[in-house]
Amino acid sequence: MNPFRSLPEYALFIYSLLEQFASIQRSTLVIAQRSPGFAILAGAVEWANGYRLTVREHLTLEDGPIVIEFYGYEVWYHEIKLYWYDSQAHPNNPALASTHPHHKHVPPDIKHNRIPVPGLSFTQPNLPFLIREIEQLPA
């Protein structure tokens, strides 16, 4: 069940990330409502050890809880892009079927090397999963 039934509830969650996760040094995340039924979340979350998570979510707000219609998340270490997640469907790739369309782009051929990701969703907030993953990366 989606814990965020409204945009103000989701905004409260986003704008209190620093209080919820002590490892985060800075957040520039901003929610911009573009119409009564659509908003965009964009910005970055940064850690003191050089990691940065860039975030872009397209949110729909009609008929019930917040739904993430599209997302893109990139994980950086200083100026090096380590990997990214997106919700672009790849229906012809059977290796991704278990979490379709959620997947992660990883080295060595980061653009074409994709793996399934069971922790992402369109109906649950993805940031806690991503933040916990980054907290586990080497300092």
What letter does residue 99 receive in the DSSP assignment?
G
Give the residue numbers spanning the domain of 102: 7-135
- Confirm whether 124 is domain-assigned: yes
Torsion over CA of 19, 76, 28 and 137, rounded to 10 degrees? 0
Q: What is the pTM of this model?
A: 0.93
| Average pLDDT value over all residues in the chain | 92
- Confirm whether 114 is domain-assigned: yes
- Confirm whether 76 is domain-assigned: yes
pLDDT in tens, 86-109: 998 888 888 888 889 999 999 999
Instruction: Report whether pLDDT(2) > 70.
Output: no
Instruction: Report whether pLDDT(63) > 80.
Output: no
Query: Which residue type, as a one-letter code, is found at position 90?
Result: H
- Confirm whether 17 is domain-assigned: yes
Residues 99, 118: contact at Cβ < 8 Å?
A: yes
